[in-house]
Copies of this chain bind each other. A is one copy, B any other.
Amino acid sequence: MRIPTAPAVPEQRAVDSEAPSVSSGVRTRSQHQRRKRIVQAAAALASRGGVEAMQMRTVAERAGVALGTLYRYFPSKMDLVVAVVSEEIDLLESSIERRPPSAATAAGRAVDVLMRATRGLMREPELADALIRSLILAEVETPFGDRMTGLLLRVSGRDQATEEEVALAGSLASVWVHELLEMLRGRRTYEQIQQRIEIAAGRLLADF
């Protein structure tokens, strides 16, 4: 799996990696269905016992698909996790759109968004675990971190953000992710997270 002769370059895995037919790029209806069934089966298993319960053999079985097929759609377990998790983020974004944060300050609105996301994640703890970890683990660029940062900038009223503003929003996002991780490790309660996010947001987005 490793390339012994070229040590410097990390093995890029295909970013897309979610559909067969490499040549055409087309996805038939039945393939779409199959992919959906797989992701659903994976999500169902993960929301119970977490990534551990989401074993590739089991997912394949639950989705009524051969192991080889599962691997054709998702070349690694991580790809599957990422797929499951993408759906969750979509949910958050549309929730924010439906009911935008109303706090007076940018920091307040950011805290609102982050804590709403936190609550959403806490509803499916095992799934949340998978989400956060995959967000961090991903080898290549994933939309997650940037999407969260973008979301924060948007609710802060910074559609045309300076580089410094992007850095600050990004910092807040990374603090949030870290706090979530600590929660997953059982080292934070919801209240503690809120407190810490408020403190950090108050400083980082002070003059937004």
- Contacting residue for A174 out of B3, B5, B174, CB 8 A: B174
A103 at interface by CB-CB < 8 Å: no
Size range of the interface on A? 35 or more
Q: Smallest Cβ distance from A181 to chain B, in angstroms?
A: 7
Q: A2-B52, A8-B189 are in contact. Are A171 and B199 (CB under 8 A)?
A: yes
Instruction: Tell me what chain A mostly uses at the interface: helix, strand, loop, or mixed.
Output: helix
Bound Cα distance from A133 to B10, whole angstroms:
14
A4 touches B186 (CB 8 A): yes
A117 at interface by CB-CB < 8 Å: no
A164 touches B7 (CB 8 A): no
A9 at interface by CB-CB < 8 Å: yes
B196 touches A126 (CB 8 A): no
Measured between beta carbons, the chain B residues less than 8 angstroms from A66 are none
- List 5 additional contacts besides A1-B50, A5-B122, A200-B204; criterion CB under 8 Å: A2-B49, A3-B186, A10-B185, A10-B186, A171-B175
